[in-house]
Amino acid sequence: MNDNSTLQMRVVQANELNPLIREFRLCAADGAPLPGFTAGSHVRVRVRLADGSLDWRHYSLVNFSPAPDATAKPAEYVIAVRKEEPGRGGSQFMHMRLVEGDLLTIEAPTNQFPVGAHSGTAVMVAGGIGVTPLTAMAARRRADDLPVRMVYAGRSRELMAYLSELQALLGSDLTAHADDEIGKPVDVAALLDACGPMDELYVCGPGSMLHAVQQEAESRGWPRERVHFEVFAPALHVAGDSVIEVVLSQSGKTLSVPADKTILQCLIDAGCDPLFDCQRGECGVCVVPVIEGAIDHRDHVLSQTEKDGGKLIQVCVSRAKGARLVLDL
């Protein structure tokens, strides 16, 4: 380990799992033991973007071994990366430029998506590449001899990475939902109908999938603590987005937020010191009171009641429905 948090790794294997997903097996460059990790952990990986600048991307650690100590002293870290087109360049680097033998700087694993040891079933809902953290979480539940089942959705079986490994791990506790076979999205209502009162949901996939599960759970009065989630591939900007004016009432500043930047990024660029963490609308840290303007909520933390109230915004992902917002900053 180079300092408190970064690790110098070597790519020992790069495998094309399917036309969209590439898997990397990473070992310490100096052969030293790697820090252990808990199920649901991710590592931040330093990538070089097309313009030559360096940035970080986070990728979940994959594990299928139900051995109790499988991730305590791992010999390697396994990550899988989906090619995003168009993307901001991180996945292009991982797909087009990184080859076996290359060195890669990463940060030690951290976990913002842990799986509980509750006695009710851990009901996992995976969408596409969102399956990666859930592999290790399902293996953990198996290791602890606790109930787990998973619905894994993807466009087609060919594009669903790790399907055979999950079938081996979960057997009949895995339901594969290939859109091209079934012709419609996962029936979220039926999924929740089948849950017992002690079951907890773990969702990882596109924002639309998470939104559907959260809406259904909220409409049934499920406490939010029973729905755990991580979002993959958040939409930084949506077709139709345009520039918005953001007025900071306390400081008197006015920011112009272009379509391809978030309010949070513009606050940072303007020298403000906003609180933030996930930058994916998941953690709630970046919440800011709104004084005026209609909010286009794109986060996954505010309740529907809070969203309807129109007084709070998660500035890392949400925008304005109109041309202007006034924030209490």
List of residues contacting ligand FES (CB under 6 A)? 276-279, 281-286, 299, 301, 314, 316
Complex with ligand FES: residue 159 or 231, whichever CB lies closer: 231
Q: In the complex, what is the shortest distance from the CB of residue 281 to ligand FES, in angstroms, rounded to a whole number?
A: 5
| Spatial separation of the C-alpha atoms in residues 192 and 217, rounded to whole Å | 7
Residue 231's H or E segment, with its range, is strand 227-231
315: burial class by Cβ within 10 Å (0-12, 13-18, 19+)? buried
State the pairing for strand pair 103-107/312-314: unpaired
Cβ proximity to ligand FES, 143 vs 283, nearer residue: 283
Distance set, CA 52 to CA 49, 92, 99 (Å): 5, 13, 18
Q: For ligand FES, which is the closer residue by CB, 88 or 118?
A: 88
Q: How far is the CB of 274 from ligand FES (least distance, A)?
A: 9
Please state, in angstroms and rounded to a whole number, the distance separating the CA atoms of residues 151 and 179: 12
**How many residues does this entry show for the chain?**
329
Minimum gap (Å) between residue 262 Cβ and ligand FES: 9
**Nearer Cβ to ligand FES, position 138 or 295?**
295
Min dist CB 193 to ligand FES, Å, is: 30
Q: What number of other Cβ atoms are within 10 A of residue 319's Cβ? A: 22
Nearer to ligand FES, 74 or 281 (CB): 281
Whole-angstrom distance, CA of residue 72 vs CA of residue 50: 36
CB-nearer residue toward ligand FES: 57 or 177: 57
Q: At what angle do helices 163-170 and 131-143 cross, to 10 degrees?
A: 20
Q: Residue 30 CB, nearest distance to ligand FES (Å)?
A: 34
Report the nearest approach of ligand FES to the CB of residue 234 (Å): 10
